[in-house]
Structure 1
């Protein structure tokens, strides 16, 4: 990831002013395409981005018609294009696999010699390709926004990064893990703005919630955003305060912070996302200060279908 991150941050500094939300989208999609699919062609990546935008929009569509002139229908067509792109490349990946996850799924066999069917590989990779960049972009954007609005915290994190070596040192996994305050700031940004604000589940067994009996099979929606801003667990919940994650709080419920879900359906990509996010912010903190442009409108946030600034995140970067 690091060469792409270094090149991206250098281009951001050269621009001086940019939409950091869009810039983070391009970077995280490039990284996800390379690491998980071995795809590096800029034209193919940009076409995939166009399709993912339509696919995500379709997931929240109310009018579920398959016609191509409504949001849902456009999303279905976008998914068909993504599936065709992946399916056409499966034979070549089986014949000459690379070290990306797409190749490994194409050649994987279990102890009985069973392999994934082509449709299973396509389904896995469409979801993974989308999840590996869109949610990470959201986390990078919301932390960058929070630090622009809290310059004292931005400087505190910069001091931590520079104490470790700063821009001249290529980070390792171990050194990124050592950035404890930056890690706490990421957790706080994910608490305030979980990329996925709700989760859908189905009860396997009958249960009672607040005196209401719910039979097995009941569909339920978990509102992560409400839980993570609940005053029972989070004093001053609307305040950006990474200190919450630098001190132990034995009274806090174990599921009061769940941006990656929990239980059997815990996000498989949580560690990758956190390492990538810390690497991007580390590179940015080591090279620049930034502040929001555009007044109060630039600070607005939306939460559906994924947490994002609806007008982008216009920032001005000042090299150190």
Structure 2
């Protein structure tokens, strides 16, 4: 498969473009937890990329866990969460058309306050079943802060919060989220939950039930990183999310890559046909934003729109809390 993709390439407008494939392989015979299987697959694929790309890596749990240091990190997860060695940032999700009068959305981002890389911390938390604890810390912290700053909604329409695959597989998640709405004065209409492709597909029926239940309460949902996982429009049809986030790996090169441009356009058109709104990630320049607006993408996010800000600084920003003129 890898050789076939490399030999085939991609032809567009008279020019030929090279393609390579990084493949992660996991033996599934002893896997009983689908979310763990996807976690191992992601790790294997990442190792294939880090080793130089255009190769196949067969996952070996003992060797690869040691290679990326997950066991050592996992032993520190509870202490990191309990000592709150995590912090939160926000990044704006703005209408693609700069002249829009619509209030922007904001995504909540998790940040490490020590020497660990966030991707390694999350990988260890997912592998060793501690990601649910991290998600609950994030949810409790942001609900508490939102209740303390009700003026925020004069400048912001909603906050997006990521939910991991571990949390989606937790039968207690719905009850926990409902308890937060009962405990804190937060309007469900101001909350958008983001789900990754792999997490949503791992248990599609269960995830769809969760989405529908919280949508009835007023929450909205987005499918994140669309285009790099299964990219099945069939599952998108069956999962009633409100937003589709087009993965930034396609967006950032659309001015130079005809294949990426075609991918972004096709995702946008099909998402709209299914009644979903679209958000393009990794928007780094005004020209990329203009191109996305021209093709009809609804919202944009990235350094070209706004760099992430610390949650505390953002909430205390007097200009943010003033009523719009």
TM-score clears 0.5: no
Please give the TM-score of this superposition, normalised by the length of structure 1.
Answer: 0.24
Q: Identify the structure with the greater strand proportion.
A: 2
Q: Identify the structure with the greater helix proportion.
A: 1
- Tell which has more relative contact order, 1 or 2 (C-alpha 8 A, sep 6+): 1
Please give the TM-score of this superposition, normalised by the length of structure 2.
Answer: 0.23
